[in-house]
């Protein structure tokens, strides 16, 4: 018995420090992981993770603010060295766009012998090289800025790769134009499934403004996000926000899908209305708003351009209700939007008809295919309205009469996209690395002559492009 007691004591003395070490390591890990269990599928798998399967601290399931877990810690949101498992835990559903396109299977990236088309890049041993690119003289200043900003994002994602998870070597096609091309990394893709069939390979990437957007009203996403947070903190209640619906923009920048009059029709429908602060942008910019100032309003009207609109993610920073025709161009996290359609709001369509407005067929068949899930007002984070704006006024009036519902839609938007960290530096870097793994899994480049191209190290290319 004495010998057994002695052995037990020795085990206790040995295991004590080890136990303290285990506890210490566990506490550190829990600081990162405790807010969510790790899902059972890989970050880089081709298994789609739909918005309906997302269980996030700031999702619609946590609609009661008293039950809401604390926001993700800044140390995590600003980290660019998260592992794949940590990325998946922190940002569930982030890689759905990647998963969907990878699930279509392999494709061949063909070389254009004339050098036109997307920028061709090579990743080898964790370094970025440029193979083919449009000359500076052939691009506008805006296009040069967009291309440079995105390549900086990509380079940053490579520089911060965890040593235990090296990225595979691959050859990439990057399209910096607004109109997406297949196969390539593009800023958006068509939401209409008929334009995104099995032979189309659109790899959506984070907007270039996550690095910088040197226009006076934006400057960069991090700056705008900080300013929006400060502004939102100053509102004591929903009622303290401006009750009008706000919009600024150019009326000529329209999508052919909407008949080329979407923005023009918006201005006409809102002209002189007390519920609207809707104006075409003055030629001298005198009525322009800083992008964060849209958060001062209860309602933000969103219009897409010829394709996607770069302002969408900025509006999603606000605790305001975004009112938009069904989104026709998906960016890298647009799938996280949970729309309630205006015709679901009791009385909106009837009121519009009684007032003499003739509603267009809505929603169009492609909308049902692109947005098959209609969310209840109590779980939605955006409101889709008729694309001819015929029910915009009655929708605003309905939301004003149901202020608690409107406030909930607005709050859930900001809680998910800002509080949930989907626009954070960490999520951006997580997305880029998952995209590079997904692309390399399905791209085929053999026999296309890429090995014969001269490669320019990114560092050299960036200096030439910026300072030449």
Identify the pLDDT of residue 252: 85
Residue 437 included in any domain? no
Is the residue at 261 inside a domain?
yes
| Count of structural domains, the chain | 1
**For the ranges 50-54, 203-207, 419-423, which has the lowest average pLDDT?**
50-54
Is the peptide bond between 183 and the residue preceding it cis, with omega within 30 degrees of 0? yes
Q: What confidence score (pLDDT) does residue 466 get?
A: 67
Q: How far apart are CA 196 and CA 93, in angstroms?
A: 20
**Range picked from 256-260, 277-281, 352-356 for highest mean pLDDT:** 277-281
Least confidently predicted of 119-123, 197-201, 254-258: 254-258
Mean pLDDT over residues 117-121, rounded?
93
What's the rounded Cα separation, in Å, for the pair 67 and 63?
8
pLDDT, residue 352, reads 53
φ, ψ for residue 170, nearest 5 deg? -165, 170
Mean pLDDT value across residues 133-151: 92
For residues 89, 95, 100, 101, the Cα torsion angle rounded to the nearest 10 degrees is -140
Element (H, E) at 90: helix 84-90
When mean pLDDT is compared across 47-56, 359-368, 387-396, 418-427, the lowest value belongs to 47-56
Question: Cα dihedral sign for 160, 178, 189, 217?
Answer: positive
Closest to 357 measured CA to CA, from 249, 265, 245: 265
> What percent of the chain shows pLDDT beyond 70?
80
> Where does the pLDDT of residue 117 fall: very low under 50, low under 70, confident under 90, or very high at 90 and above?
confident
Mean pLDDT rounded to a whole number for the chain: 85
The mean pLDDT of 203-227, rounded to a whole number, is 94
Q: What is the greatest pairwise CA distance in the chain?
A: 96
Q: What is the 3-state secondary structure (H, E, C) of 415-437?
A: HHHHHCCCCCHHHHHHHHHHHHH
**Residues 454, 441, 439, 189: is their CA dihedral positive or negative?**
positive
Residue 458 domain-assigned? Answer: no
CB contact at 8 A, 244 and 297: yes
Lowest mean pLDDT among 43-47, 60-64, 243-247: 43-47
pLDDT of 159 over the 50 cut: yes
Task: Name the least confident of 285-289, 330-334, 432-436.
Answer: 285-289
Q: 34 pLDDT band (50/70/90 cuts)? A: very low
Cα 361 → chain centroid: 29
What residue numbers bound the domain in which 241 lies? 232-419
pLDDT per position as a tens digit, 221-237: 999 999 999 999 999 99
Q: Which residues pair with 130 in a beta bridge?
A: 121, 456
Domain assignment present for residue 376? The answer is yes
pLDDT of residue 428: 97
Quick check: 26 pLDDT over 80?
no
Radius of gyration of the chain (CA): 25
Which of 66-70, 93-97, 157-161, 338-342 is least confident? 66-70
Evaluate if residue 219 carries a pLDDT over 80.
yes
- pLDDT at residue 447, as a whole number: 92
Residue 90 near residue 29, CB atoms below 8 Å: no
Over residues 253-272, the mean pLDDT reads 84
What's the pLDDT at 253? 78
Q: What is the pLDDT of residue 258?
A: 61
The per-residue pLDDT for 71 is 75
| Residue 16 covered by a domain | no
**Per-residue pLDDT at 362:** 77
Q: What percent of the chain has pLDDT over 90?
A: 71
For residue 92, being part of any structural domain is answered with no
3-17, 58-72, 121-135, 281-295: which range is least confident on average? 3-17
248 inside domain = yes
Look up the CATH number of the domain holding residue 260.
Answer: 3.40.50
Higher pLDDT: 153 or 67? It is: 153
More confident residue, 260 or 143: 143
pLDDT score of 268 more than 50:
yes
**For residue range 322-369, what is the model confidence (pLDDT) as tens digits?**
999 999 999 999 999 999 999 999 888 655 555 555 555 678 899 999
Tally Cβ neighbours within 10 Å of residue 237: 8
**Would you state the pLDDT for residue 136?**
87
> Is there a domain that residue 84 lies in?
no
């Amino acid at each position: 018995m004495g010998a057994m007691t002695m052995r037990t004591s020795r085990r206790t003395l040995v295991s004590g420090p080890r136990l303290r070490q285990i506890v210490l390591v566990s506490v550190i890990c829990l600081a990162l992981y405790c807010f969510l269990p790790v899902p059972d599928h890989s970050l880089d798998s081709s298994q789609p993770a739909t918005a309906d399967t997302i269980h996030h601290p700031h999702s619609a399931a946590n609609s009661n603010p008293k039950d809401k877990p604390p926001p993700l810690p800044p140390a995590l949101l600003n980290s660019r060295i998260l592992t794949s498992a940590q990325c998946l835990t922190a940002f569930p559903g982030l890689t759905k766009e990647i998963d969907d396109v990878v699930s279509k299977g392999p494709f061949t990236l063909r070389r254009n012998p004339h050098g036109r088309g997307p920028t061709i890049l090579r990743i080898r041993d964790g370094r970025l090289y440029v193979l083919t690119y449009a000359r500076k003289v052939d691009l506008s200043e805006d296009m040069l800025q967009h291309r440079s900003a995105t390549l900086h994002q990509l380079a940053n994602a490579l520089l911060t790769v965890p040593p235990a998870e090296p990225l595979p070597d691959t050859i990439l096609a990057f399209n910096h134009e607004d109109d997406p091309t297949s196969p390539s990394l593009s800023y958006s893709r068509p939401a209409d499934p008929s334009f995104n069939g099995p032979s189309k390979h659109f790899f959506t990437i984070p907007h270039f403004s996550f690095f910088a957007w040197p226009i006076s009203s934006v400057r960069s996403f991090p700056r705008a996000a900080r300013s929006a947070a400060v502004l939102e903190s100053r509102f004591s209640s929903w009622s303290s926000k401006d009750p009008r619906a706000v919009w600024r923009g150019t009326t000529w920048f329209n999508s052919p899908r909407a008949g080329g009059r979407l923005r023009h029709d918006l201005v006409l429908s809102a002209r002189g209305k007390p519920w609207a602060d809707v104006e075409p942008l003055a030629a001298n910019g005198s009525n322009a708003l800083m992008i964060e100032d849209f958060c001062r309003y209860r309602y933000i009207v969103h219009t897409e351009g010829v394709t996607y609109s770069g302002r969408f993610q900025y509006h999603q920073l606000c605790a305001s209700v975004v009112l938009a025709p069904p989104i026709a161009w998906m960016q890298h996290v647009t799938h996280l939007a949970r729309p309630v359609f205006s015709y679901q709001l009791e009385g909106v369509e009837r009121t519009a008809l009684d007032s003499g407005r003739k509603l267009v067929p809505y929603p169009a068949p492609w909308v049902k295919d692109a947005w098959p899930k209609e969310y209840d007002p109590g779980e939605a984070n955006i409101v889709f309205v008729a694309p001819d704006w015929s029910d915009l006024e009655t929708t605003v009036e309905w939301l004003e009469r149901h202020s608690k519902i409107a406030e909930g839609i607005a709050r859930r938007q900001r809680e998910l996209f800002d509080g949930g960290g989907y626009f954070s530096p960490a999520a951006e870097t997580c997305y880029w690395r998952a995209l590079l793994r997904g692309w390399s899994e399905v791209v085929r480049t053999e026999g296309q002559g890429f090995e014969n191209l001269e490669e320019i190290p990114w560092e050299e290319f960036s200096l030439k492009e910026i300072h030449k």
